Structure 1
Amino acid sequence: MTTESVTTNPWREGTTRVAPSVLAGIGAFAAVGVYVLVSSISLGLWTSLGPGPGLFPFAMGAVLAAMALLWLLQELRNPSETAAGVDRGLVIAVVASLVILAAVMDMLGFQLSMFAFLLYHLKIRGRRTWVSSLIIAVAGSFGAFYAFNYGLNVALPVSALPFLNAIGL
């Protein structure tokens, strides 16, 4: 299956239009942006102490909606060329690994489950060297865990298994 960004109109030779799949992507980004924008207003954009909890989501929703609009204008002005086919094996592998990650996160904790997820994608799917795969997986799992837990004070899940929890995983 190939996804094309440009399709030709058989009735008007030489003209191009934006492919429906590209319009669907633009519409999805615009819809998410507008939803976040509208939903964040109920959180409160400003408080007596300063920025409220809805200010950042409001800004991100506005940026996402604006980017979707710019993407639409860019595609209408100059539709992009034919894209390469989608590797279904890659899509299935990513979705399956995300489902597995979500399933084992509570049992193994963030550090081990994210380490295994990253190592799989870097070494097996991405065919990186063992050294670079291990360095990136350690930084992306253990490094992110400590950055969030101790730097940002945001708790990420720890292992539910007592022997892993006892050693801080």
Structure 2
Amino acid sequence: MPAKHGESAAADREHRVRAVAEPATMAAIALLGVVVVVASVHMGLTNALGVGPGMFPFVSGLLLAALGVAGAVTATARRRPPPEAEPASGGEPASGGEPASGGEPSTFTAVSWPRLATAVALLVAFVVAMPYFGFVVTLTVLTFALMTLVARRGLVLSIVLTLALSLGVYYGFGVLLDVYLPGPTVPFLAWMNP
């Protein structure tokens, strides 16, 4: 019986941590979106040619903020008491107990917290580094880092997808739409500016 009580206390503690961590993480993502929106407004949303260099980050920041708010609201609304440690009559788990497969439910709380922390740190680094290294260079490094460190994809696939995304963004915005993407300001990358 003491072992079951210890398991119940551990499950209760894990539930409390998850109940706070999930909405807090989603709120942090929403805050990051707001930071991107504010930074993009300073870059300029429009110019004499129409769409300015800050428009794409502005829209991305709005989406990120909206997803963060929606996730925080959903996580808060989804809070429920932890599953009962004692089985109900008949030897079956009480309602709200473990899933039929016996594994962890497939929810946001089942993610790897170190991977999530790495992804958030990379997004913050992207926002900080973009004014110095330009949009395309920073996006290339971010994509490669997300593919290898967070998604854990192979080196060849990561390189191929990173190059495809970076060249697609450069061609789509810089060539087809003729939209100025912020270029690098550091001297050793000045040759990349038009």
Q: TM-score, normalised by structure 1?
A: 0.49
Q: TM-score, normalised by structure 2?
A: 0.44
